[in-house]
Amino acid sequence: MSIILKNKDTLVYKDFIFKCSIGKKGISSTKIEGDNKTPMGTFSLDKLYYRHDRIKKPKTKLKCIPIKKNMGWCDDVKSEKNYNRLINIKQKVRHEKMHRSDRTYDLVVPIKYNFLRPKLGKGSAIFLHVTKNFNPTSGCLAIRKSDFLILLRLVNKKTKIIIK
């Protein structure tokens, strides 16, 4: 089964409909770093990263990894080795902090866009993450925490996400 972005504010999985938000500038088939667009395509889901100090381990078939203070996601277009990868933030490369105070990444699943052999500048850190207010994102998909917990029970490592 696939999670489908039905329109700019609706995700559908089987009979479940979830309100969501997407990138500030919509969806693009030519995503580039920093363009505030959500990439178009069909993608796999990565592991679930979660704030174990705030949330008990969710029930899901995805591999679960507790977020630690030193975790970041590299968005540095000058770092061929680390681009669009989980890193230790002690490295001197630009990154997104995974351990955030605003609860946005209390639950986060990287969407496998530009993932296996990342191309510098094609976009990084495209996540499914938590939102409270459904404000547009920098390119991610965001749903409310209660919906995220439901979705996690339904998906597995074979689940695809279709963004069109």
pLDDT in the model for residue 90: 86
- CB-hemisphere CA count at 13 Å for 84? 21
Report the mean per-residue pLDDT for the chain. 97
Q: What is the pLDDT of residue 1?
A: 87
Q: How many CA atoms lie within 13 A of 130 on its CB side?
A: 22
Q: Given the DSSP bridges, would you call strands 27-28 and 38-39 parallel, antiparallel or unpaired?
A: parallel
Structural domains of the chain, count: 1
- Whether the per-residue pLDDT at 4 is higher than 90: the answer is yes
Mean of pLDDT values over 66-84? 97
Average of per-residue pLDDT across 58-65: 98
Question: pLDDT by residue (tens digit) across 107-151?
Answer: 999 999 999 999 999 999 999 999 999 999 999 999 999 999 999
- Distance, in Å, from the CA atom of 135 to the CA atom of 142, rounded to the nearest integer, reads 9
Chain position carrying tokens 């100090």 = 53
Confidence grade of residue 162 (pLDDT, cut at 50, 70, 90): very high
- CATH, residue 27: 2.40.440.10
| Mean pLDDT (whole number) for 62-86 | 97
φ, ψ of residue 148 to 5 degrees: the values are -60, -45
pTM for the full predicted model: 0.96
> How high is the pLDDT of residue 2?
97
**Stretch 57-62: mean pLDDT, rounded?**
98
CA angle at 12 for the pair 10 and 13, rounded to the nearest 5°? 155
> What is the 3-class SS of 65-83, one letter each residue?
EECCCCEEEECCCCCCCCC
Instruction: Give the tens place of pLDDT for each residue, 13-36.
Output: 999 999 999 999 999 999 999 999
Range of the domain at 16: 2-163
